[in-house]
Amino acid sequence: MPLGLLKYGLRRKYPAQHHFPRPQELKKTYDVVIIGGGGHGLATAFYLARDWGITDIAIIEKGYLAGGNTARNTAIIRSNYLTPEGVAFYDESVRLYQDLSNDFDYNIMYSERGHFTLAHTDAAMRTSRWRAEVNKHLGVNSELIYREDIARLCPSMNLSEDARYPILGALYHPPGSIARHDAVAWGYARGAAMRGVHIHTQTEVTGLLIENGAIKGVQTNRGTIHCNRAMQAVAGSTSLIAKMAGFKLPIRTIPLQACVSVPLKPFLDQIVVSGSLHVYISQSARGELVMGGSTDPYGVYSTRSTLDFKEGLMGHMLELFPFLDNVTLLRQWAGMADMTPDFSPIMGLTPVQNYYIDSGWGTWGFKATPVCGKRMAEMVATGKVPQLIAPFRLDRFVDFDQVGEKGAASVGH
Amino acid sequence: MKILNCPLNGPRNISEFVWGGEVRDMPDPADLSDRDWGAWVFLENNSAGIIREWWCHVPTSFWFIAERNTVTDEIIKTYPAGEAFKSRRDFAAKAKPSEGTR
């Protein structure tokens, strides 16, 4: 067997396939420049090329492909939000995700698990019921369940009343899923590159060319690119790029940390989230427990990890699954989340003409990758804001028209 | 454990403190349009580098100012707010009479 595999690997008949074309020359002019080569930027390029026939696109990425928050999230996909705007938006995303492997002809390992948002207090039970009713009204599969149901669906969870915060019930969202986050980005990158989009990694934006209030080009460390339209999708660095464009944003860059355990025998089908305990956990296909908590208590432009975070997270983890007490951590990391005051994203027009923004994705960006890419592409192609993302405009803050999203992850409400 | 030096209570674990955001000069609400006020309330510099920011030591409710590098997370110095704000500003005097007696 090993020899057969070696022979197969060395045979000329089966050459290794490259996912993406080799790096291209940076052209002097592109129709569209997308700043940020993460999931959102790649998805926008993909839908621009596939649905709108616009292929003269450059994606400019400072680091390597999808190495920012696309690589640093915990890969949870769900649509059980609280505001009607949020539910409609994220639900389209879930539906797009379900077909994504077929769209790409590339396996994103989409795995439907069911999603618990645990309630530990009467108040949380009321909010869960509220969320369930909003969800059901908008056609999203979501319901309030009680301890007996949790015991049946997830027998390994500690439902004892002796815990510091006993579990009373949960908001159960059966379509809640996880996917291979890197594969999502690679699928989009491959689909976009196949259609002629240029992806330039290791290319840093140093300034923007703006004439008469309209975007004319992007300056990079590899030279200046002229363009008709541009868009930024740069997560934690959002405010820094916006500063180059000359406007300020209601965003604070705050790290969000996460970690995985050593691989364990599969015991946890569902995704388990507790807002009160600041824990979310799921078990990956490899058996690793993927765990996250809340954002850091203050803003930092850094992806450092802290012991404080891990101590807090593990204390709460052990309340839910006490038998994990001698399991060791395998990896830890952090991402720089662009947090908005109302926990909703910012998508749409900016004070600069033909310059679009996709930001404010804080702790909820991965699950929105397909819908955001699709609708941003529609906006870049037509110049008009699609109805679905209109509530998430930048001006909502100065007009006092925020979309207060209490269903957001990793934040206290 | 990360230590923040409180001007009132000395060096303490940073978990005892709450972050209050960047120190910014407050404009007079009476001089601003609603949109400009919204911009002042919500829009942030969110700078990468050394900034001046508010912190509160929660057990004693003591607000003070820290200079911190937001890239390296290094706290450079802390001092009482009185060092930055020398005089009292009175906004109420300028408010329009039609807006009530408050």
State the CATH number of the domain containing residue A36: 3.50.50.60
CB contact under 8 A, B45 and A239: yes
CATH number of the domain where residue A149 is located:
3.30.9.10
Decide if B70 contacts B51 (C-beta within 8 A).
yes
Cα–Cα distance, A284 to A290 (Å, whole number) = 7
Q: Do A106 and A42 fall into the same domain?
A: yes
Cα–Cα distance, A23 to A70 (Å, whole number) = 21
Give me the residues paired with residue A315 across strands. none
| Domain tally, chain A | 2
Q: What is the mean pLDDT of residues B87-99?
A: 67
Sign of CA dihedral B17, B20, B25, B26: negative
What is residue A413's predicted lDDT score, i.e. its pLDDT?
A: 44
Question: Is position A6 within any domain?
Answer: no
Give me the residues paired with residue B65 across strands. B54, B79
Q: What is the mean pLDDT of residues A19-23?
A: 73
A159 φ/ψ angles, rounded to the nearest 5 degrees:
-105, 15
Tell me the shortest Cα–Cα distance from B85 to chain A, in angstroms: 23
Residue A78's alpha-carbon distances to A1, A254, A305, in angstroms, are 41, 23, 26
Cα–Cα distance, A386 to A49 (Å, whole number) = 18
What is residue B33's predicted lDDT score, i.e. its pLDDT?
A: 93
Indicate whether A11 pLDDT > 80: yes
Cα–Cα distance, A179 to A76 (Å, whole number) = 7
Question: Is position A16 within any domain?
Answer: no
Closest Cα to residue A245, out of A280, A218, A281?
A218
Indicate whether A372 pLDDT > 80: yes
Cα–Cα distance, A43 to A246 (Å, whole number) = 26
Contacts of A155 (CB under 8 A, 6+ apart): none
CB contact under 8 A, B43 and A341: no
Longest dimension (CA), chain A: 68
What is residue B98's predicted lDDT score, i.e. its pLDDT?
A: 56
Closest Cα to residue A208, out of A188, A230, A193?
A230
Q: Please tell me which of the candidates B35, B36, B46 has its beta carbon nearest to residue A239.
A: B46
Residues 31-50 of B with CB under 8 A from A: 34-36, 38-39, 41-48
A249 to chain B: closest CA residue? B43
A302 and chain B in contact, CB less than 8 A:
yes
A248 and chain B in contact, CB less than 8 A:
yes
Domain boundary among A308, A339, A370: A339
Domain boundary among A280, A315, A339: A339
Q: Please tell me which of the candidates B44, B47, B71 has its beta carbon nearest to residue A302.
A: B71
Cα–Cα distance, B39 to B37 (Å, whole number) = 5
Q: Do A322 and A355 fall into the same domain?
A: no
CATH number of the domain where residue B90 is located:
3.30.2270.10
Model pLDDT for residues A276-334, shown as the tens digit of each residue: 888 999 999 999 999 998 899 999 999 999 999 999 999 999 999 999 999 999 999 99
Question: Is position B101 within any domain?
Answer: no
Helix H or strand E encompassing A117: strand A115-119
Contacts of A49 (CB under 8 A, 6+ apart): A55, A57, A191, A192, A195, A196, A197
Decide if A271 contacts A176 (C-beta within 8 A).
yes
- Domain of residue A71, residue span: 24-111+176-250+341-413
Cα–Cα distance, A387 to A291 (Å, whole number) = 35
Tell me the shortest Cα–Cα distance from A335 to chain B, in angstroms: 13
Cα–Cα distance, A39 to B43 (Å, whole number) = 26
Model pLDDT for residues A172-224, shown as the tens digit of each residue: 999 999 999 999 999 999 999 999 999 999 999 999 999 999 999 999 999 99
Question: Is position A206 within any domain?
Answer: yes
Q: Do A78 and A95 fall into the same domain?
A: yes
Determine the straight-line distance between the first and last CA of chain A, rounded to whole angstroms: 56
Model pLDDT for residues A293-304, shown as the tens digit of each residue: 889 999 999 999
Residues 6-35 of B with CB under 8 A from A: 14-15, 18-19, 21, 34-35
Q: Do A101 and A146 fall into the same domain?
A: no
Cα–Cα distance, A187 to A181 (Å, whole number) = 10
Cα–Cα distance, B21 to A297 (Å, whole number) = 11
Q: What is the mean pLDDT of residues A253-274?
A: 96
Give me the residues paired with residue B78 across strands. B66
What is residue B102's predicted lDDT score, i.e. its pLDDT?
A: 46
Indicate whether A411 pLDDT > 70: no
Share above pLDDT 90 across residues of chain A, in percent, rounded to a whole number = 87
Chain B CB contacts of A399 below 8 Å: 35, 38
Q: Do A268 and A278 fall into the same domain?
A: yes
Indicate whether B61 pLDDT > 80: yes
Cα–Cα distance, A328 to A12 (Å, whole number) = 43
Q: Do A200 and A241 fall into the same domain?
A: yes
- Domain of residue B81, residue span: 3-95
Cα–Cα distance, A177 to A271 (Å, whole number) = 8
CB contact under 8 A, A398 and B73: no
B89 and chain A in contact, CB less than 8 A:
no
Question: Is position B102 within any domain?
Answer: no
> What was the ipTM of the complex prediction?
0.89
Question: Is position A367 within any domain?
Answer: yes
Question: Is position B66 within any domain?
Answer: yes
Q: Do A299 and A272 fall into the same domain?
A: yes
A36 CB neighbour count, 10 Å cutoff: 27
A111 and chain B in contact, CB less than 8 A:
no
With tokens 């860059």, the residue in question is A253
B3 and chain A in contact, CB less than 8 A:
no
Which of A56-60, A78-82, A257-261, B15-19 has the least mean pLDDT? A78-82
Q: Please tell me which of the candidates B19, B21, B48 has its beta carbon nearest to residue A301.
A: B48
| Domain tally, chain B | 1
B18 CB neighbour count, 10 Å cutoff: 14
pLDDT band at residue B94 under the 50/70/90 scheme:
low
